[in-house]
Structure 1
Amino acid sequence: MSDIETPATELKAQYAAQVAADLERNTKEQERISTEVAVLQKQLASLQSNQVMLANLQQTLGAESPAATSAEPAGSAAATAPVPRQALVRKTKSRNAAALKPAETAARNGTKAPTAAAVTKQPTLVELIRRHLGLQSEPRSAAEITTGLTQAHPDRDIKSKVVRVTVEGLVAKGSVQRAKQGNSVFYTTSKTPAADTPAKQKDPTTA
């Protein structure tokens, strides 16, 4: 009889130990979950508080519509202006400042801001050469023409080679006359009498 009860007692003790271990794990798991729930509840409460604050702020900003603010007195407009309006003012000022930059730069440099009409009215190189030669009392070389145009128009990039090609083109068209003296070539407008060219000009002392 005692031999039969001994295995049953041992099995009961094993079950009891297993139950105790499971109970302990259950208790620890509850404690862990309770801690996490407390943290989540704290986060939830914080989010709910922020939600209320944001909702009140949204309602306040929504009340400041353009129709409502237009009826406010002029003296209180600056004090009660909502944030979006201030941002709009800053954006408008920035856009106006960007538009004034060319004029301000020209003012600092002592020049006038270029306009579209001024750019389109600039004379061509052909016109500049013909005008320059027409003002001269004697023929000029390509280098002298380039120097004169550069001094008269410092804002333009005038190259000697381009001037030489252009004036030769005017010679081909008959607008400019060419005269060679030694190894140098001189140019004058076709309106200038032929006697004024270096090759045919008389010496005043021998006239």
Structure 2
Amino acid sequence: MTAQEPTLKSQYAEKVTADLALNTAEQERIRKEIVSLQENLTGLEQDHELLVGMRAAIGDTPTAVPAPRTGRKTATSARKPAAAKSATTADTKKATAKKATAKKATAVKTVAKKPAAKKPVAEKAAAAKEKPVPLTELIHQHLSGQAEPKTAREIAQALTTAYPDRNLSDNLVRTTTERLVARSLAERAKQGSTVYYTAIQHNTPAAEAPAAVPAQTENAPVATTA
């Protein structure tokens, strides 16, 4: 038994060490998944704000019908039958209801079109440090600076080189780039079994993108199938 004690102790020590290594690796994997999910959530929130603004912009606003003026009673109106008075009252109520509805719709449309208050430069700088640049913007910046179409893997490798602190998988980059295609900020072209992406430039502020990722940070990856 005495000769076996060191052996058993070493076996337990090795097992505990292996379990600790697995635990640490699992924690790191989960952290990376959280970062990836946060990227997707940020993109969906931006799409939601864009769609809400578009819906408010194209919504039909009822035409306001002015209510009849009150306080001027003539001898002729005093002699109207009770049925005519009831009809006038009903018309007045309808006009008032339409006017209230028109005011509400106008207020909602005004709020949707009202530009956000400008933040001071210091607050903008602090917000930029706290909140990372959305992946959709990074991809659009990179594609805007490329002379040739790029695959999702090429984009992912270039952005990983430029931003090593962000966990960018090929699948995440492909999904986000397809979101740009859906928003008419990029276009896709398929050659054989390989899909290439190209940025689309617009004159609207929402589609303008800053300078692209420097070309020297790319690793010149080989095009792969999407």
The answer to whether the superposition gives a TM-score over 0.5 is no
Give TM-score scaled by structure 2 length: 0.32
Please give the TM-score of this superposition, normalised by the length of structure 1.
Answer: 0.35
**Higher RCO structure (Cα 8 Å, ≥6 apart):** 2
Higher Cα radius of gyration: 1
